[in-house]
Structure 1
Amino acid sequence: MSAVHKLITDHLEIWTAADTEKKSGRGRVSGSANSVYGIKKLRELILELAVRGKLVPQDPNDEPASELLKRIQVEKAKLIADGKIKGGKPLPEITTEEKPFKLPYGWEWARLNDFVLNIISGGTPSKNNSEFWNGDIPWASVKDLNVEKFLESTQDFITQKGLDAGSKLAQKGDLIICTRMGLGKIAIAAMNVAINQDLKALKVTSFLDIDYFINFYGTLKIIGSGMTVAGIRQDELLQYCIPTPPLAEQHRIVAKIDELMVLCDQLEHQHNNAAEAHEQLVSHLLGTLTQSQDPDDFNANWQRIADHFDTLFTTESCIEALKQTILQLAVMGKLVRQDPNDEPASELLKRIQAEKAKLVAEGKIKKDKALATVSDSEELFKLPSGWSWTRMINCAKQITDGEHLTPERTTDNTKIPLITAKNVRDGSMDYTTTDFVDFDVASKCWNRCKPEPNDILIVSVGATIGRLTMIEDHRDMVIVRSVTLVKPLLINIRYLTMALRSPSLQKTIWAGVKQNAQPCLYLAVSNNLPIPVPPINEQHRIVSKVGQLMVLCDQLKSRITNMRRSQQKLADVLIEHAPTR
């Protein structure tokens, strides 16, 4: 077994335990879209070992790379003499500072230019000329280079006129390298293809294994320059220094990389399958809690979870699922026991209506439009004794949205913050990205709608509809149309906030969203939302219990996050001590 195989197999738990967030990536270095941090680092290590000559043993019978480079020079000289390529400007000798590590015997440092027979830059035909586009010539830009190895298709096509007017044609087998907008992207043209100005097409000598170069390119930390978009110049690209093995060793290195990457793929596939199965199991078990038919059924289902709690709740996503279940259980009346001595919710709702009638008589609020009671078909679940379904407007003295015409804004942070959907976070307010309005402008806005402490703000326009928070500070603010304001009345504000954040209510909110060009939650839908209302004393008990459980969830999540970071650091340490030098 090779040293690298041993490095992988002896530390499987470290590579697969060091998990990461789900991010998309490209190629072997990045791994799949569900890349595991430890395995991603392992892929990087394999490539690093490869280009340092530590992945496969050297063979003293191999022709040294110095002879290989001589034969390339002879090949280029003949092509120049035959008029098939142009002779380029000689590049400076490679300095000691440009050599980041010592090479094995038989290897040589060479510039990319030493292997390139020809290089072309692309271009973009005028978009205003319809005769240049929608032809039969594939035309590649940066977006087409999101491939593992071969460029086999493009999103756009041009005509022969378009090619003649503003692009260049790369040949099948050419190496396509991005030098702007997507640095690090590289592919082999699987067909003749036109390219745009962000790409270079390199015809490379057969004395360089193209797969070896692509693997080497994956180890580069490319940093571009430029005022608007970072890029690298052609002369910079051609001056890259390549650690060059004998040709036979190049082939052996590529074969070994392929073998080890397959092993990494298998590890990653097994890990991701196990993680997916784990999440499905947690989701199923949590679902049994909300579907429990009676207290005995609930206790049995909870005991099943409690017996395996330490093995079930081991990821941040599982903790988030647990939080959502807690909210759902809370609004279903399954989180705390009912007290038959509590005044029923129906009495609370009567007092709310009496208070609203008084406020209407005093001219402080407008009379609500009469709404039908919540029908049996609208009830999201069965409520315990003493609870009642009602419309959200019956829990508030006012539900309205913000300014329909955005008031004149300023960046003066001594003025009044202007709150839009982006400032309403999940359970908090973000004042760091607000614009501001003058006090006189704000005063006019407040005549219709003034947010105050203990009000609820709900995002009502865009992709984050339903995200909400309770206002807990005393700063003045003005809201715009993308935010709905709810002013609760006599109900426990934290309970109402909790109910609106529960999975069943969030689903109902989205069911009422108008899917126009931009999703919108209209006030009529907000007013009509069915709300499960417990007795007021039970509301207080629910809020207290949820608060305690959420603190425990956050503590558990923090421990899991710290554990994951420790596992990542352990993987990093293992990489640092690998035999790369």
Structure 2
Amino acid sequence: MLLSNLDLLATAPGGVTKLRELILTLAVQGKLVPQDPADEPASVLLQKIRAEKDRLIAEGKIKRDKPLLPIIEEEKPFELPKGWEWVRLPEVTYNLGQGEPTTSFNYIDVAAIDNLKGLVSSELQVIAAIDAPSRARKNVAVGTVIYSTIRPYLKNIALIEHEYNPRAILSTAFAVMHPHTGLVPKYLLHYLRSQPFTEFVNSRAVGIAYPAINDANFFQGIIPLPSIEEQSRIVTRVESLIRLCDALEAKGQLEAMQHAQLVSTLLGTLTASTTPEELSANWQRVAQHFDLLLDRPEAIDALEQTLLQLAVRGLLVPQDPTDEPASTLLQRIRTEKDRLIAEGKIKRDKPLPPITDEEKPFELPNGWVWARFPELGQFGRGKSRHRPRNDPVLFNPPVYPVVQTGEVARAKGIIREYHSKYSEIGLAQSRLWPKGTLCITIAANIADAAVLGFDACFPDSVVGFVPANEIGDASYFLAFMETARTHLIAFAPATAQKNINLEILESVLIPIPPQAEMSRIVTRVTALRRLCADLRQRLAERQSVQARLAEALVAQAGA
């Protein structure tokens, strides 16, 4: 049943991960391979293991375990096949002791574990004894299975598969289990990575931000023990199916890469268009592959970005030769600014250098002009002069909303949330920007942009742009910023916290259409973005159905 539905499982969100979990669950429940009545039952195997344990204790090679509690029915997560036995981990494994290193060693810490494959990294750090970390204490050998007891949900579990030179020493963050003869190491590994044991460990772990389980609780864990022959058959079958999962995953990754290349190529033909007529012809070719193109969320995101690029290049709506040219709009804005300056209502801007032909990134349609933010309205950084910035006097009593970079980044167009308010004192050391201001982040989240949905203050990590009255609202400039974000990020210094400055934003060239065309562009962009949102919703619903079908299939197979 599973093999006949692999395509569904592989394409469902998280399907391959669920399939891997199911394979392990079925394996340790005895449902993955047939039982053989000729196999020696686990009860006999357990007697041999106990005899070996007694011999090793008598030879002084291991210590005698503390008495173990009997296993009660409530502990058993599922019913075992005939011939299997439940045992506690210390009954079938032992540790190899620990001590302070006296010579150089290969150090195995949690970071050295490949938690997807259950392997130790091939590149370990060799450490001199004098430099040994205090946690480097535990011994391991070939066949030892190790389990990180810190943040166990990460499944940092691995099998030591070869000798190390110099020898390997393990961090005390691990529980060590060296199997007795009769317990196949890879069977132990697969069980420890299975859902039943993971649920046991999570139920015993303590702590929220940094959960952990101590050795005393960990080694209360139980393991289903089949015959050694069946353990070997299970391991062979599990590894065969896991390889199949790996192949499905690689196939999905290849398909995703090929799909991304197809999307890039098809949408690239649109952005390469130079006239509305050429765009129309290229769009017809893209439309032929529309269903294939938009079957992934990232493809819809790419389409939306392409539409925005077409909008600000004058290719999304037709030009009207009767429209007043943008140059006239800029003259009116300049005249109004000069009047406000003369009346002392605003300060005069710093002179901007002329725009050279070499600076212009592409050719504009007739009637368009290149301009910069300071030429188009009020433009400046937010203010937060008082230090420390979290001084309670700035916020008590709270009156005026304060917007931070995170709220701009999360806004998705319109800022509707805030988490603090300035008092009158807070407002006096800041500035209140009006509803409709375009906010652009210049620190942390670089060049994220959104429009204020209310009057608010913001710090100097955010730049504000209030379009001139002659333009109207900031919708067109929001669309422009979304297309320009990658270009602006390129200006951010390569520091721990990236940032760009006001001068960089002041120099950004903005393609300005005639005012009437700007309105048509905003209307078309709004409609097309609603269409993209609808496509995302439909795709999410389809993927949700796929995920539910996959979960049902997994549940049925595991029942």
Give TM-score, length-normalised by structure 2: 0.91
Identity of aligned residues (%): 35
Per the alignment, do residues 564 and 412 of structure 1 end up closer, same or farther by CA in structure 2, a change over 3 Å counting? farther
Which deviates further from its counterpart, 112-121 or 250-259? 112-121
Distance 1:308 1:239 in 2: 57
Q: Deviations for 1:425-453, whole angstroms, at most 9, x for unmatched residues?
A: 24233635x3443222213322xxx2111
Distance 1:65 1:514 in 2: 64
Contact 2:20–2:245 under 8 Å retained in 1: yes
Contact 2:398–2:422 under 8 Å retained in 1: no
Q: Which residue of 2 aligns with 1:29?
A: none
Counterpart residue type for residue 509 of structure 2: P
Counterpart residue type for residue 251 of structure 2: Q
Structure 1 unaligned residues grouped into runs of 5+: 1-5, 20-36, 126-131
Distance 2:193 2:396 in 1: 47
Q: Which residue of 2 aligns with 1:421?
A: 405
Displacement of 1:120? 4.8
Query: Among residues 428, 449, 458, which one is paired with 1:443 in the alignment?
Result: 428
User: Is residue 168 from structure 1 mapped to residue 128 from structure 2 by the alignment?
Assistant: no
Query: Among residues 209, 214, 230, which one is paired with 2:184 in the alignment?
Result: 209
Contact 1:455–1:485 under 8 Å retained in 2: yes
Query: Among residues 148, 152, 157, which one is paired with 1:186 in the alignment?
Result: 157
Distance 1:522 1:362 in 2: 30
Per the alignment, do residues 118 and 507 of structure 1 end up closer, same or farther by CA in structure 2, a change over 3 Å counting? closer
Q: Deviations for 1:517-555, whole angstroms, at most 9, x for unmatched residues?
A: 432211111111100000000000000000000001101
Q: Deviations for 1:236-265, whole angstroms, at most 9, x for unmatched residues?
A: 211111111100110010001111112222
Displacement of 1:418? 3.1
Distance 1:350 1:164 in 2: 70
Q: Which residue of 2 aligns with 1:488?
A: 467
Structure 2 unaligned residues grouped into runs of 5+: none
Per the alignment, do residues 437 and 295 of structure 1 end up closer, same or farther by CA in structure 2, a change over 3 Å counting? closer
Distance 1:404 1:285 in 2: 49
Q: Which residue of 2 aligns with 1:246?
A: 227
Q: Which residue of 1 aligns with 2:174?
A: 199
Q: Which residue of 1 aligns with 2:361?
A: 380
Distance 1:556 1:440 in 2: 47
Per the alignment, do residues 228 and 350 of structure 1 end up closer, same or farther by CA in structure 2, a change over 3 Å counting? closer
Counterpart residue type for residue 355 of structure 1: E
Contact 1:121–1:196 under 8 Å retained in 2: no
Q: Which residue of 2 aligns with 1:54?
A: 31
Counterpart residue type for residue 241 of structure 1: I
Q: Which residue of 1 aligns with 2:112?
A: 144
Counterpart residue type for residue 458 of structure 2: I
Displacement of 1:206? 2.7
Per the alignment, do residues 303 and 115 of structure 1 end up closer, same or farther by CA in structure 2, a change over 3 Å counting? same
Per the alignment, do residues 414 and 556 of structure 1 end up closer, same or farther by CA in structure 2, a change over 3 Å counting? same
Residues 408-557 of structure 1: matches in 2 within 5 Å?
Answer: 408-410=390-392, 414-425=398-409, 426-429=412-415, 431=417, 434-446=419-431, 450-462=432-444, 464-474=445-455, 477-489=456-468, 490-492=470-472, 493-502=474-483, 505-557=484-536
The DSSP-based 3-state class of the residue aligned with 1:389 is strand
Displacement of 1:91? 0.6
Displacement of 1:158? 3.8
Displacement of 1:164? 9.7
User: Is residue 14 from structure 1 mapped to residue 2 from structure 2 by the alignment?
Assistant: no
Counterpart residue type for residue 87 of structure 2: A
Q: Which residue of 2 aligns with 1:177?
A: 147
Q: Which residue of 2 aligns with 1:399?
A: 380
Counterpart residue type for residue 62 of structure 2: I
Displacement of 1:412? 6.2
Counterpart residue type for residue 336 of structure 1: V
Contact 2:379–2:463 under 8 Å retained in 1: no
Displacement of 1:455? 0.7
Q: Deviations for 1:61-118, whole angstroms, at most 9, x for unmatched residues?
A: 1111111111110001011111111101111111111112111111111111111222
The DSSP-based 3-state class of the residue aligned with 1:289 is helix
Q: Deviations for 1:367-407, whole angstroms, at most 9, x for unmatched residues?
A: 11111222212112111000001122111223224325553
Distance 1:455 1:195 in 2: 57
Q: Deviations for 1:104-153, whole angstroms, at most 9, x for unmatched residues?
A: 11111111111122265789x9xxxxxx9xx8423332222234233245
Residues 214-253 of structure 1: matches in 2 within 5 Å?
Answer: 214-219=189-194, 220-221=198-199, 222-223=201-202, 224-226=205-207, 229-253=210-234
Distance 1:136 1:429 in 2: 58
Contact 1:121–1:200 under 8 Å retained in 2: no
Alignment coverage as a number of residue pairs = 539
The DSSP-based 3-state class of the residue aligned with 1:478 is coil
Per the alignment, do residues 90 and 228 of structure 1 end up closer, same or farther by CA in structure 2, a change over 3 Å counting? same
Contact 1:399–1:487 under 8 Å retained in 2: no
Give TM-score, length-normalised by structure 1: 0.88
Q: Which residue of 1 aligns with 2:338?
A: 357
Per the alignment, do residues 412 and 204 of structure 1 end up closer, same or farther by CA in structure 2, a change over 3 Å counting? farther
Q: Which residue of 2 aligns with 1:340?
A: 321
Which deviates further from its counterpart, 245-254 or 281-290? 281-290
Q: Which residue of 2 aligns with 1:27?
A: none
Per the alignment, do residues 568 and 334 of structure 1 end up closer, same or farther by CA in structure 2, a change over 3 Å counting? same
Per the alignment, do residues 576 and 185 of structure 1 end up closer, same or farther by CA in structure 2, a change over 3 Å counting? same
Distance 1:553 1:152 in 2: 43
